Chain A
């Protein structure tokens, strides 16, 4: 049986080339002077300094974090009741609801965003509002499904026990259901916040040309301006912020569980 391990050798080689090497390339580009197609190996921290010195870049970063946070909070507020209501349905209806929620996830995100562009043309909204609607639309099903999975896994006897001990519906929700569904909320946050911070299609299609998020900034520096080194530095900064916020979320979750 031990010999079966040999079957994973090819993939270990594969991840060295296609996962580890690309990350190192980004790091190398971020730390060197402009060279685009060729790495220059002239090491510098200028790319990072440039980002933090320029107030426009900082405000783009803050805007991206803010809209991702707003999207996540809205998805939890709108998605939690939906997940709870679905979990209360009969088993057959639950399967149907989950199917109905997954179906649109299979339809191309750009096509759905284009449809929103058409719908939102009928209304006079500021760019940020349009982008927010688009983001909540795209990510809401993920949040609902994650929370629903964690609620439907719970032991129903717990709720009955809570009622028997004199808790009303609200207390049962607050003291039993909500704390037990925290892992579902956390994995929902991972699936929403992370792609929302880095999204560049939704802001571009719904926000018009003047609405720039950090993802758009990376695209501009790679495709339009052609400064790959600076673009790499921006994406590294973004990746670090995302990793830090994910770590923080998990830590808060763990502390809450211990209490």
Chain B
């Protein structure tokens, strides 16, 4: 009886995984297709990979995606961390008011955030460009960084930083030697969320980027006819994401193991 139940539950989980990985497997398979078809596999070839590396607009979209994601992640992680630490020392009224506004882009549908920013830029007579795109990405990423750091800050013992100050540490030292090391994992996960939000974004980029600036999503959206090189690109992204996530997991599990060891000593 128990075995049968176990069989049922693992069977169901396998079905869910199959559903989730079906389109990914489909794309990987068809990236090696010999013909342009997305329904018939006619033979193995690497022509779409070759095409991708010769397609200037496609390469440029990859470049813009990575550039914007890196800049917005760095800026939003720094600003978000500094702000979160500052807010944790603020009066409760001010803190909850700021967090309430900070939550708006998280709760708002992307398209509302997008047109809001576009209307702002246009009415301020700022020409839509790479700069407005980056500003938009920074502004929707910071709230997520703050949201991922705030709970961790609340668990901290205020007395530790207080003690550091009493022992003669400058505020900057108290920050970099005491507070930040304690919330480091939360900063990292905030940065990770910021990067993936920026890397994946379509809607906000679509409304705030200047003419001729396309990220991967915008490139895919604006394709007039289906370009199978997109399959090759997806496959590459799948490989890169898998490698990064596996590495992050290995490192974090090693770190927690070491921490356990230290605690035991």
Which A positions have Cβ atoms within 8 angstroms of B?
A: 1-12, 14-15, 17-23, 25-26, 29, 37-39, 78, 81-82, 85-86, 88, 95, 97, 99-112, 114-119, 121-122, 137, 140-141, 144, 190, 194-195, 197-198, 200-201, 204-205, 215, 218-219, 222, 228, 231-232, 235, 238-239, 242-243, 246
Contact = CB atoms under 8 A, between A and B. Distances in A.
Contacts of B226: 114
Interface of B: 9-10, 12-13, 16-17, 19-24, 26-27, 30, 38-39, 79, 82-83, 85-91, 94, 98, 101-102, 104-105, 107-113, 115-120, 122-123, 135, 139, 142, 158, 161-162, 165, 171, 175, 196, 199-200, 202-203, 207, 216-217, 220-221, 226, 230, 233-234, 237-238, 241-242, 245, 249
Given A121-B39, A218-B115, A231-B115, A112 B220 contact: no
B85 A7 contact: yes
A14 B139 contact: yes
A111 B107 CA distance: 25
A100 B108 contact: no
Contact of A232 (B16, B102, B115): B115
A201 B203 contact: yes
Nearest to B136: A18
Main SS of chain A's interface residues?
helix
B39 A118 contact: yes
Interface of B, secondary structure class, is helix
A111 B87 contact: no
Contacts of B110: 195, 198
Contacts of A114: 27, 220, 226, 230, 234
Residue among B20, B98, B202 with most chain A CB within 10 A: B20
Given A19-B101, A235-B115, A246-B107, A100 B86 contact: no
B168 to A, nearest CB: 15
A103 B242 contact: yes
Return the 10 tightest CB-CB contacts between A and B, nearest first. Answer: A22-B116, A8-B86, A7-B86, A198-B109, A115-B23, A118-B38, A11-B83, A25-B119, A85-B9, A18-B139
Contact of A1 (B165, B203, B221): B165
B238 A107 contact: yes
